[in-house]
Structure 1
Amino acid sequence: MRKYKVTYAALLAGTLIAGQLAGSIAAPAADAAAAKSPAVSAPAAAFKFKPVPLGDGVSAVLENINIWNQNGGSIVSYTLKYTNSGNASASLLRYFSRVVTPGGSVLPGNPVGADALKKKIGAKESLSVTYYVNAGQATSLQGIKVSMHVWDAKTKGYLKQTGSFAVPANYSTSAAVGTSLNTLMNDIPVAASAESLQLYKYNGKVYARVGVSLTNKGNKVLGDPGYSAYLVSASGTSFELALSGSQTDYTIQPQEKRSIYYLTEIPAYLKTDNMRLQFTKKDETAKLELAQASYKLPAATTPNLVVGNGVVKKITVNSNTVETLLRNANVYSQDADAVWTFQMQLKNTGNKAVTMPSYELAVKSVNGKMYPVNAKGVSGITLKPLETKIVPLTVRIPLEVEQSGLQLMMIESVGSEPAASAPESAGTGGSTGNTGGTGAAAPAISTSKMIFPVAYFVIPYALRTEVQTGQEYMTTNSYGSFSYSILSLQRYPWRDDDIVALRLRITNTQSVSLTLPELKGSIKLDNESLPVTTELYMDNKESSVLAPGKSAELYVLGKIAYTSEFRDMRVALNGTQNSETVPFLDVSVNNSVNSIPTIEAGKSYTISGKGKTASVQENRTTVYQGESQNLVYTELLLSSEEKRQSKMARLQAYYKTKDGQYFEANVSQSENSASPGAKQLVVMWAKLPKATDTADVSLYLGAGVNGGKLTDSKEEATGFVNVAALKLNPQANAPKNTLEATVLYPYTISVLTSEGKRMKNSDTLDITMNYSLRKDNQYDAGPLEHKLILQITDPFGIATERVLTLGTDLIEGTNNQYSFTLSRPLYKTMGGGAYKLAFYDEFQGERLLLGSQAYSVTNVVPTKTEE
């Protein structure tokens, strides 16, 4: 079997029983009757060997003896306690111990490295020394004796035997099941006991979990004594134990009680009756492992790892309880897969911070197939005391797989990366060494990490519900708890595409502030796998930190082909933590909730946004009738409702005709800041086919956005939001029959008089026009691009046009005069008549007649001087 080397592991009872056997627990001496009952094992603490005198007031007693099998043979270790009752120190160089095997071999004891420098016993003092021998193929302590010798020059071989210690047949090196032993560990009093042996089956393998309890009864922090731990079967097969990955801190505070768990993989066929937990310590000098202490384990149990729907599973991490709960599981189909989303809620109920160990997550179907889940958000996460964190999880499962009865498997990763390969003598199947005998087997070497099941969470089969407009929904994620509602789902034109815009309201339902991350959105239509190109806008008037009860509104915009049809739409909002994408909100909505509000003619459209709040109202709409097309022209009054001077939002719009056609509106808007209460004139226009009915036209109007914010008038927009259909009231052009008070905003021109003169026999007609020109500065406007066309029709019906630049050709003021001359040979025959002046508004190549008026031609007879 694989073994998992943990040199720092057995903080546990390694020294526990070793210390207890060393005499820290008083135990009655065994009587002869006990020695005659080999069928009943008794712990080592129940035996008290009689001292063997060594002479000169010095005696020795066997405190404990252990055996541990290794590749080079079984190592017997034993501890002798020397007592000097004399008045002078005694040299240990005069005393010798030998281990006598049942086969008659006599093996001299060697002191362990830590005791090698112990050379004498002080007067009236005691001294314990641990020795070891290699007992070869010995598999138990039965029949073994430890004989004591002293240096004697008169004895053959110079060694005189003074006595021996025979290990009783019912001698056991393991503490009994359920026994709590008081002992010393690192010179600190400790109570220790074996708690449990649990078996887990996962992925065709069997894992054993051993639990040991330690209580520090001293007044100092208990540190790690550096023992290795093994699970040993009744037949002697051993498996090195790995500390559970949920334990990273092994210091035990004074008066603190902690349970420590070890894990290993065992063969499925292994009998688990009468197993024990063995601790060893490596002697660096001899390069051997020496047995230290052993516990008999209770009968193995198999815990039920299945966690029902909505049930909290408690797990222990560094002696802190962490409550785990699988919540908010739902599923939707995409392509050929069912996409499952759920959340793992983790709550540290302890009083110390906890770092979760490494986990593997997978969803298991009823037929046993497993689908991995990214566990990065769970593994290594740190929880402060009483802190709760929500980790979102997602997995894709083929639709052909039965979706009911799924379980989320939480697996702990334990152990190290591959080490040296196992020696051939260790065997290859599960157990190692002398698997058929009673001796302890040499443990195998680690070949990979070990994975260990922790919990199987039942996943309830629940289809993703479609969110309805106006309803409030509650949710919790890694950022906190909040409610959300869909305010609208709109679809409207944008250039060659359509925009689908989801408007959301998020409300903090916690008693503490909710910090919204920098969100990014994605949209998917029906079962299409590719997400729609999206943009997200949140009114900057709302802070990203929401106080309890406060709300924020945001838009998620996606561009789709205008020919696309879809039944439902999935919108996902994500944040970022440590460069990782973290889900924030995921909703599905039905296309039937599409809504574009209508604003009746004459009513106002409202723009909301930090520094850009304003109202918009139609000033006038008219139609320029062209020969092949018509031009719809609209003036809007944009009124600032801010209390400070600020840039107004860029308006975007489309004209919608009665038959459902859309025409993008060109926009002319001032780039200047607007003062509080000031109005700006925004001009929009579009050219429509001549046959288009413009009687019931409306303007799909909204505020432009780019980069997640409302755009200024001079900035290019990538979309627009808060779209409403503003009904327009087109006014038919009614030209006046006078040239008084002719308006071409921002100017008003009035022709006061006009006179046309022709000299007799001349081919010229001189015309003067007396006028007044006034400029209206009530509204700020962008470039208006209107042209004033003056058309002069002479008495012969021949028309001549001139483009008059207001403010240049015609200047502001009253009683100004503008003169021009027309020349034609035909005029020589003209005897009088009338001419007509007409003003046209020309815009984008199309014209509106503003007004016209006729004036008389005066023939002038030249004087002799003029002749």
Structure 2
Amino acid sequence: MKKVSVVTASILVASSLVLSNVHPVVVSAASSTKPAATQAAMKAFKGAELKTFSITSKSSIQIKDVYFKYGSKEKQAFFTVVVHNGDNTPIDFMDYWVELTTKSGAKYPVKSYTATGSSKSVQVPAQTTREFTFYSQIDSKLNYSDLIFKVVKWDFSLPGYTRTVGQVNVTSAYQNAVPANSYYVQSMDNNTIKSYLTAGTFFNMGTTNQAQFELNLENTGLFEYTLPDYQFYLRTKAGLVIRLAKDQITETVVAPGEKVKYTLRTSLKNTINLTDAQLLVTVIDAESKLEIPKSVYTISWNNKNNITVEPNKAASININGINIKASIENIYTDYSGSQNNVVLTTKWMNSGKEPVALPAYKFEIMAKDGVRYPVQLMETATDIQLAPGLDKEIALQASLPAALSDGLVLLVKQPKDEKNTMEYVKTAMKLAKLQETKGVQSKIYKSEKGSYEIKVSQAERLPWGNQDMINTFLEVKNTGSKSQSIPDIAALLRLNGQAVEAEKSNLIKLDSSGMLEPSESTRYVLITKVPYTYKFGEISLNLTDKISDTKKQTIGLFKLNEISPLPELSATEVFNIDALGRRSSLQMLNTFVFEGKDDNLLYSEFKYTNKEARFTTLPALKAYFKTSDGQYIDATLTNIKAGLKADGTALVYATAPVPKTFSNQGDVQLIIGEALTANAYSKPEDKADGFVSGKSIILPKTQQAAADTISNLKLEPYEFTLNRLNTMLIDVENVKLEMKYTLEKKSIFDVVEKETKLYFEIANNKNAYGASVTITPKEGEGLETGIEKSVIVPIKGTQLANIVNGGYVLNVYEETDGYKRLLGSKKYGSFQIVR
């Protein structure tokens, strides 16, 4: 609530402010309330003239526009002296003066004021009229009826050196306020300005009221009029003075015949009675900074305000001189426990001929008791353009207490900024009574693009670090009879009624189709992440369709009441990706546990096949291992960067470190899906930040049996056989294994991007030493595919001589990332000493 501040700067108070008591309520349909009059029916206000004194048969001096101006601890009286010279010779106003006294005999010094830029001469040429302004510091307790003005002429032949031209007492009948439904024509220097005040309006905001009215000015003179630094105040019958906020005037020079309008506002407690309040207008002199009263207007009040708009009606909002029609098109209410979650779709129509930017309005929903609730824009765009003749749909969302359903109003507020000194309501659109909107899973949707079936098919929950991904899938089907473009869908997501911030949810199209043929479908997924401990029972989506850059259309409210369990696949079943342009299949091959020094490595490998009809890159994947106790372990899955021909295959594998105590008894799952990066499908080289379309592959019991021979050892895609071995002891710490071997590529993969190694180890009961050899290395020596191939493997170790002399075992391992899996072993007792 904005507090009313009593202006402490000097302010103007008119003589007509002594009014009778009234009941202290807001003006509504009381007898003193007057409807706004048309300008044609207005009466002319003759002005606040006090007295005219003749100084010759053709010339006179007039006193008018007597005003009080109050400060925090002082009071000033301002008045204007009009000198009319009807003679043929100039009048030197230096020969005259005005004295200010009171009925009690007190006399106050009078000062003259000359406006910045005006002539300081006091000569009044023949056949002309000039005005002079005077002011005086007076007793703050004085009333207008206490004042006496005396016009004197200097005459040094008389006692006191003055001769009285005339004097006048201010009476209680003196009226200086422009009455309601009247206009006032003021002449100032070479300018003539006609002004009138329109009837004011109220808008109740609970404990406060917003008061608003307009002061209209018209240049009826022959010359341009430069608007001065006007200040505006509202004075109540009780004497409370409130500074008014004014709309900024961009053009400060008013040409002859042109008009300008000041829209004036304030916010004040609704206990303040504004019946018979007045508008006080002052001007601050640019040079002296003196604030000079200019006019006073009696304010009338309309029975109805021009802010409130009834349900199903359009509001008129002026934006930079362009009329904008705004209306509430749809209200979606989703009841969730103790609150109503409301989505409003509003339509904005530019009735002008030029585009205009929608200001950064503040939106609120106000209840009957004046309590206001924040409303958020569903779109994050900061520059919303309204094009002429086109509708712009803007969606808003708010959360309200469940008990609130009737008597609600949507407030469109202009916030306080550099141009607006106060926040105020531009329009208030009444809402129809809220009724819970029943969400659906599918509906027929029609737009100017065509006819569609929109369906929210399912939702999945996938692990992601210390969060879970909630992926909600949408299907869009062409129900028309010809090709149709795909709707440009946007979504507002709520979980158990709680809105998910727009930047924390992303809608992704799951295939590359651009048009839909009759009966064809396309799929979207809406993704968000929540803490893994977060529980909810309902997903709701408000969907909209972006028809064009300037037009949106609401699709509807959709709901799901459950998360679909992930599909489970046995180790022999195939994981398929069916989206156009991404068709592929993944088949389980093997699961092993590789041993390491401090922990072990869980390892699963697969055959990945391109099911597209063309050469392409396989979709990037992401996976997590799920253990028997429900833990999720982030898996490293190396995606294939090379492209594959149609039906081409590649070897891929997923790994994750596990404790030494880990055991897979056929109760471990691999949660695998299509990888995402930056709200799009990942490329093989990308680092994934999410995944979708997950499935659970039940991994077989770990296959760890090692052969007691070194023959036909299998490691994908190879098979290794040691044909002959000659062990050569070079010295006590060095041995060379001279081997004849056969290495065949038994599994036919088009692409194997995995680096495969064998680790050869000499061991006895106490010590073991070994070395790694890469299979078909890109550089350097290693194992080559073929029959009866030769290789020498050097091994170094401090106890090698003892091992070889006492008989030894040769172990052959598959090595991955420093972890080893035993393939086969064979005992040997002989060796060769090389000197």
| TM-score (ref. length: structure 2) | 0.60
CA deviations on 1:522-569 (whole Å, 9 max, x unpaired) are 874x4799999988584698799xxxxx9984451657769x985323
SS at match of 1:173: coil
Aligned position for 1:242 = 244
The structure 2 residue matched to 1:682, chosen from 630, 646, 651, is: 651
SS of corresponding position for 1:175 = coil
Determine the structure 2 residue equivalent to 1:766. none
What's the counterpart of residue 97 of structure 2?
A: 96
1:111 and 2:112 matched: yes
2:436 to 463, 470, 475: 463
1:186, CA displacement in angstroms? 7.7
Whole-Å Cα distance in 2 between the matches of residues 271 and 842 of structure 1? 89
For 1:168 and 1:352, the matched residues in 2 are separated by 55
What residue is the counterpart of 2:472 in the other structure? 502
The alpha-carbon distance between structure 1 residues 248 and 336, as it changes in their structure 2 partners (threshold 3 A), is farther
Instruction: Trace 1:43-54 onto structure 2 (pairs within 5 A).
Output: 43-45=45-47, 52-54=54-56
Which amino acid in the other structure matches residue 160 of structure 1? R
| 1:359 CA drift (Å) | 7.4
Residues 592 and 5 from structure 1, CA distance in 2 versus in 1: closer, same or farther, beyond 3 angstroms? Answer: same
The equivalent position to 1:780 in structure 2, one of 734, 740, 751, is: 751
Residues 510 and 523, structure 2, Cα contact 8 Å, conserved in 1 = no
What secondary structure, in the 3-state scheme, does the structure 2 residue paired with 1:213 have?
Answer: strand
Aligned to 2:68: 68
Deviations 1:618-652 (A, max 9, x none): 7796999xxxxxx9998534227597775752365
Deviation per residue, 1:187-216 (Å, 9 max, x gap):
455432111133444433455433222234
Q: Go from structure 1 to structure 2 and tell me whether the alpha carbon gap of 1:337 and 1:282 turns closer, same or farther (over 3 Å shift).
A: same
- What is the aligned partner in structure 1 of residue 459 from structure 2? 489
- 8 Å contact from structure 1 (residues 351, 385) kept in 2: no
| 8 Å Cα contact 2:640/2:652 also seen in 1 | no
- Counterparts of 1:163-562 in structure 2, within 5 Å, are 163=166, 172-183=175-186, 187-206=190-209, 208-216=211-219, 222-232=225-235, 237=239, 239-244=241-246, 246-247=247-248, 249=250, 251=252, 254=255, 256-264=258-266, 274-281=276-283, 289-298=291-300, 301-303=303-305, 306-316=308-318, 320-326=322-328, 329-332=331-334, 337-342=339-344, 349=351, 362-366=364-368, 368=369, 370-373=371-374, 386=387, 394-399=397-402, 401-409=403-411, 455=428, 457-458=430-431, 460-463=433-436, 465-469=438-442, 472=445, 486-491=456-461, 500-504=470-474, 524=495, 526=496, 538=508, 553-556=524-527, 558=529
Aligned to 1:833: none
Aligned 8 A contact 2:205 2:370 in 1: no
**Cα displacement (A) at 1:79:** 2.0
1:839-850 to 2 correspondences below 5 Å: none
Partner-residue secondary structure (3-state), 1:196: coil
Q: Please say if residues 12 and 68 of structure 2, whose CA atoms lie closer than 8 Å, have aligned partners that are also in contact.
A: no
- Partners of 1:656 and 1:64 lie apart in 2 by 96
Residue 567 of structure 1: aligned partner: 537
CA contact (8 A) 1:188 1:218 kept: yes
- 2:673 alignment partner in structure 1: 702
Instruction: Answer yes or no: is the 8 Å Cα contact 1:176–1:295 preserved in 2.
Output: yes
1:615 has 2:599 as partner = no
Distance (Å, rounded) in 2 between the aligned partners of 1:293 and 1:810: 104
- Counterpart of 2:374 in structure 1: which amino acid? V
Q: 1:460 to 1:386 in 2, by over 3 A?
A: farther
Q: What amino acid is aligned across from residue 194 of structure 1 in structure 2?
A: L
**Residue aligning to 2:134:** 131
Partner of 2:576: 605
Query: Which of 1 and 2 has greater Rg?
Result: 1
For residue 681 of structure 1, give the secondary structure of its aligned residue in structure 2: strand
In structure 1, how many angstroms separate the alpha carbons of the residues matched to 2:664 and 2:417? 80
Q: Aligned letter for 1:197?
A: G
Deviations 1:819-861 (A, max 9, x none): xxxxxxxxxxxxxxxxxxxxxx99997999xxxxxxxxxxxxx
Paired-residue identity, %: 13
Question: What is the rounded CA distance, in whole Å, between the counterparts of 1:411 and 1:533 in structure 2?
Answer: 25
Displacement of 1:121: 3.3
Contact 2:373 2:400 in 1 (8 A): no
Write the letter of the residue equivalent to 1:239: V
SS at match of 1:93: helix
Give the Cα separation in 2 of the matches to 1:335 and 1:787: 62
> Is the 1:44–1:172 Cα contact (8 Å) retained in structure 2?
no
Alpha-carbon separation, structure 1, partners of 2:787 and 2:631: 45
In structure 2, relative to structure 1, the CA distance for the partners of 1:236 and 1:184 (3 Å cut) is farther
* Structure with greater contact order relative to length (CA < 8 Å, sep ≥ 6): 1
- What aligned pairs does 1:574-589 form with structure 2 within 5 A after superposition? 589=559
Q: Which residue of 1 aligns with 2:693?
A: 722
**Of 498-507 and 202-211, the range deviating more from structure 2:** 498-507
Question: Quick one: distance in 1 between partners of 2:782 and 2:360?
Answer: 83
Shift of 1:117: 3.0
* Aligned-partner Cα distance in 2 for 1:816–1:42: 118
CA RMSD of aligned residues (A): 6.8
String of CA shifts for 1:718-775, please: whole Å, max 9, x gaps: 653234689999xxxxxxxxxxx99997569999x99xxxxxxxxxxxxxx9999677
Deviations 1:134-153 (A, max 9, x none): 66555346995553x33334
| Cα deviation, residue 77, structure 1 | 0.3
SS at match of 1:172: coil
Cα distance change, pair 336–530 in 1 and its aligned pair in 2 (3 A): farther
SS at match of 1:157: helix
Deviations 1:237-272 (A, max 9, x none): 36244124x546463654554442323467867765
Give the distance between the partners of 1:7 and 1:348, measured in 2 at CA. 43
Aligned residue type for 2:143:
T
Whole-angstrom distance in 2 between the partners of 1:691 and 1:153:
127
Consecutive unaligned residues of structure 2, counting only runs of 5 or more, are: 14-42, 479-483, 515-520, 545-553, 593-601, 701-711, 725-739, 761-772, 792-813, 825-835
Query: Contact 2:100–2:109 at 8 Å: present in 1 too?
Result: yes
Q: Secondary structure at the match of 2:216?
A: strand
- Judging changes above 3 Å, is the alpha-carbon distance between structure 1 residues 621 and 262 closer, same or farther for their aligned structure 2 residues? closer
- Residues 608 and 649, structure 2, Cα contact 8 Å, conserved in 1: yes
Q: Please say if residues 348 and 384 of structure 1, whose CA atoms lie closer than 8 Å, have aligned partners that are also in contact.
A: no
Structure 2 match to 1:547: none
Residue correspondences, number = 684
What is aligned with 1:628? none
Mapped contact 2:153–2:165 kept (Cα < 8 A): yes
Residues 714 and 823, structure 2, Cα contact 8 Å, conserved in 1? no
Q: Distance in 1 between matches of 2:443 and 2:524?
A: 13
Conserved in 1, the CA contact under 8 Å of 2:717 and 2:747? yes
**1:572 CA drift (Å):** 9.4
Equivalent of residue 157 in structure 2, options 144, 154, 157: 154
Distance 1:381 1:771 in 2: 69
For the 8 Å contact 1:5–1:240, the answer to whether it is kept is no
**Mapped partners of 1:174, 1:113: distance in 2:** 24
Query: Cα distance 1:514–1:664, how it changes in 2: closer, same or farther (>3 A)?
Result: same
Give the distance between the partners of 1:538 and 1:389, measured in 2 at CA: 24
Contact map agreement 2:591 2:603 (CA 8 A) in 1: yes
The letter for the 2-side match of 1:65 is D
